[in-house]
Amino acid sequence: MSTESAPISHWLTPESMNEQLHVLAAFTLVLCGITIWEFACHLPFDLQILAGRRKFQWPMILYFICRWSMVLHVFSFAININTTTEIPCQGVVLLSNVTDMLGTVTSSAILALRSHAIWGRDRRVGGMLLALLCVQIGSWAATFYFTHSVWEPHGNFCRIVTSTPTSLLIACFSFTMTLDFVILALAVYRLWPERGSGGIASLLLKDGMGSFAAAFLANTVQTVLVALRLSSIMNLMCVSFALVVSSIAATTVYRRIVRTPERLAKRREESHRRAGLIPGVSLPQFAPPPSDIGLESATNFGLRGNTTGRTSTLPPLEEWQEGSDDLSDKRPIDDIESAEKGLAHAKIPVRESW
């Protein structure tokens, strides 16, 4: 009877595992640099909220949790991988796992709120998204029980004693990927019929889809790596990457919504000055849309000029795209006035609280 053992996979050889660990350590340091840059670039916006210069709204809690979870996770993960001195391994691993869960869940929640707003606060859509978010939280919380780590003095590293079963990781990451796809599909399905209207719907479609797609693709990469079952190190290779991309995408969406009023006024004035229509004259401000994805004023309103022959009910959340070349370089006057036509028929209440 043959006693030959099955050949060891190339990914599980000591040489390959050592190489994977070095790649993971270097990749994590790169993500630390990206995280520092992202955090520093948008720190003035955060300070405006903390200083009370922007009215506080409850989704800002999700925004800050998402931002700080990204920072804490990336740095705790980097310390765990790169340290050469003894650290409380179990505490660092737990911090990394908890912040990974919080960052992933809050980024999905921010994008879900935006899709809910696009659907005009539809209760069925909101209830479905809330139920999916609760399942996501439960699946992530289940992973905390299995991971245990201790310090290995001979190798100067944190040794994983027990880890989360691969099947549970696959289920957790697959559900996150599915949730991101559902959020993306809901937004596209709602906005796609209005894509040719040339007004708010078209700008909403262009502005948000990149962020939705980035979050979905980042979680897809991590899910595929875990599903391949290459090695325990490869299972972790894109965990931080998925969180960083998802968090940046979600917080970018939120900042665009909050900054819409001032961006609109500034861009419109600059565009008219460039065209020589009203040189040196400040143009009147529009009644700004709600600056919060808490959906307080996401009431339905009609848009004319769409190609579907029906009336749209899109809420006025994000009428103009931040940083778009279309509004400033290609056809600045036509694009803004096109959006204004849609806004002219919108029933947007003007309140001092905005």
pLDDT digits (tens, 9 = 90+) for 136-145: 999 988 888 8
* pLDDT at 170 > cutoff 70: yes
Helices 239-275/43-50 angle, 10° precision: 90
**Among 17-21, 28-32, 160-164, 235-239, the least confident range:** 160-164
Listing DSSP states for 128-145 in one string gives: HHHHHHHHHHHHHHGGGG
**223-258, pLDDT tens digit by residue?**
899 889 888 888 889 999 999 999 999 999 888 878
Is the pLDDT score of 42 beyond 90? yes
- Residue 305's pLDDT is 36
- Who contacts 8 (Cβ-Cβ below 8 Å, separation ≥6)? none
- Rounded Cα distance between 307 and 94, Å, is 53
In what helix (H) or strand (E) does residue 148 lie, and over which residues does it extend?
A: strand 148-152
Least confident span in 27-41, 105-119, 156-170, 171-185 = 156-170
Confidence category of residue 210, pLDDT binned at 50, 70, 90: confident
| Band (263; pLDDT cuts 50, 70, 90) | low
Backbone region of residue 179 per phi and psi (left: phi > 0; alpha: psi in -120 to 50; beta: other values) = alpha
- What is the predicted pLDDT for the residue at 286? 46
* Most confident residue range from 192-201, 206-215, 311-320, 321-330: 206-215
Report yes or no on whether pTM surpasses 0.75: no
pLDDT of residue 77: 92
What pLDDT, on a 0 to 100 scale, did the predictor assign at position 201?
A: 60
Share of the chain above pLDDT 70, in %: 69
| Residue 298 and residue 317 in contact, taking contact as beta carbons nearer than 8 Å | yes
Given a contact cutoff of 8 angstroms between Cβ atoms, the answer to whether 312 and 304 are in contact is no
Higher-confidence residue of 275 and 150: namely: 150
Is the pLDDT confidence value at 319 over 50? no
- Rounded Cα distance between 168 and 229, Å, is 12
Write down the pLDDT at residue 128. 94
Res. 330: pLDDT tops 50: no
Band (352; pLDDT cuts 50, 70, 90): very low
pLDDT tens column, 47-77? 999 998 888 889 999 999 999 999 999 999 9
Tokens of 184: 């993306």
Q: How far apart are CA 85 and CA 156, in angstroms?
A: 6
Which tokens belong to 290?
């709600």
The pLDDT mean for the chain works out to 76
Predicted confidence (pLDDT) at residue 321 exceeds the cutoff of 70: no
Name the helix (H) or strand (E) containing 152: strand 148-152
Q: Is residue 293 within 8 Å of residue 285, measured between CB atoms?
A: no
Close Cβ partners of 295 (under 8 Å, ≥ 6 residues apart): 113, 116, 117, 121, 315
The model's pLDDT over 85-140, given as tens digits with 9 standing for 90+, comes to 888 988 998 999 999 999 999 999 999 998 898 888 899 999 999 999 999 999 98
The string over 272-311, giving b where at least 16 C-beta atoms fall within 10 Å of a residue's C-beta and e elsewhere, is bbeeeeeeeeeeeebebbbbbbebbbbbebebeebeeeee
pLDDT tens for each residue of 271-313: 777 776 554 554 454 444 444 433 333 333 223 334 344 444 4
Domains of the chain with CATH codes: 17-259 (1.20.1070.10), 262-344 (no CATH)
Is 165 within 8 Å of 146 (Cβ atoms)?
A: yes
Please provide residue 152's backbone torsions phi and psi, each rounded to the nearest 5 degrees: -105, 105
Residue 164 has pLDDT above 90, yes or no: no
- Tell me the DSSP string of 91-137: HHHHHHHHHHHHHHHHHHHHHHHHHHHHTTS-HHHHHHHHHHHHHHH
Please, are residues 54 and 354 in contact by the beta-carbon 8 Å criterion?
Answer: no
With beta carbons less than 8 A apart as the criterion, state whether 315 and 301 touch: yes
Within 8 A by CB and 6+ apart from 323, the residues are none
Which pLDDT score is estimated for 204? 64
Q: Answer with the residue of higher pLDDT: 333 or 30.
A: 30
Residues 6+ apart with CB under 8 A from 166: 226, 229, 235
